[in-house]
Amino acid sequence: MKAEDYKIMRDEFLKATLELSDNKRIEYTEGNHMDNVLWNFENSAKDVNSTPMKVLIIFLNKHLSSLKSYFRTGKEFSESIEGRIMDIINYLLLLVAMIRSEREQSDLPEDRSIRR
Please state, for a pLDDT cut of 90, what percent of the chain lies above it: 72
Residue 22 has pLDDT above 70, yes or no: yes
Q: Comparing C-alpha atoms, which of 26, 56, 36 is closest to residue 44?
A: 56
Domain ranges, ordered by start, for the chain? 3-109
More confident residue, 50 or 105: 50
Nearest in space to 53 (alpha carbons), one of 38, 35, 65, 32: 38
Q: How many helices (H) and strands (E) does the chain have?
A: 4, 0
- Residue 74, pLDDT > 70, answer yes
| pLDDT confidence tier of residue 96, bands split at 50, 70 and 90 | very high
What's the whole-model pTM score? Answer: 0.85
